[in-house]
Amino acid sequence: MPVTSEELFLKGLAEAQDLYTRLAKILEKEAPFRKMLAALERAIERSNEAYRDTGADQLCATCATSGRGTCCVRDMELSVSRELLLINLSLGVELPRQRLFPRGCFFLGARGCLLRARPLLCRNFFCHWFRQRFSPENLAYLQEAMEEEARLLFQTEQYLKVFLLALSQGGAKKIS
């Protein structure tokens, strides 16, 4: 019987959580990672503030949980990398164990996205429905507010990719 995308995703999610359990203490001692994570968290808060100030947070949450099927749809979780899961776990996010909305993204909760650090695709895409209800000025404000978050998220994910590769090549004993 073929494996479904849901089964593959759940396996990857469990593997990321297991990896984080083994890596958490190492990452806590990794000064560059801690510094990047702190900067990313501040940038995310500034982006979230812009979302709150403009009402975009409510607009997105309303759309996502209404089942409109535009952005936060089933299988969007497949765009969440292992590194992004590790970042969220490092930020103290408790990852869900099951999907709340059958046709929604695995990370969609009752009030919107459950991830603190979200994929760039999710942060940068504004559907037609959203744009019809949002002024061009507010949209430009949101995009400007998210620039630093996008840059820092990319850098932090890249750092983790290199870090994990280095551990797998020479430091496997450290994470076993």
Residue 173 placed within a domain: no
Q: Which residues of 53-69 are buried (b: 16+ CB within 10 A; e: fewer)?
A: ebebbebbbebbbeeee
pLDDT cut 70: percent of the chain above it: 96
Nearest to 141, CA basis, from 44, 40, 56:
56
Domain coverage including residue 44 = 5-168
Predicted TM-score of the model (pTM): 0.91
Residue 121 placed within a domain: yes
Residue 51 placed within a domain: yes
Residue 174 placed within a domain: no
pLDDT tens, residue by residue, 157-168: 999 999 999 998
Residue 94 placed within a domain: yes
For residue 171, the model assigns a pLDDT of 64
pLDDT tens, residue by residue, 14-43: 999 999 999 999 999 999 999 999 999 999
In the chain, alpha helices (H): 5-29, 31-54, 56-66, 82-90, 120-124, 128-132, 136-170, 172-175
For residue 175, the model assigns a pLDDT of 45
Q: List, in order, residues 6 or more apart from 140 with CB less than 8 Å away.
A: none
pLDDT cut 90: percent of the chain above it: 69
Q: Could you give the number of structural domains in the chain?
A: 1
Residue 175 placed within a domain: no
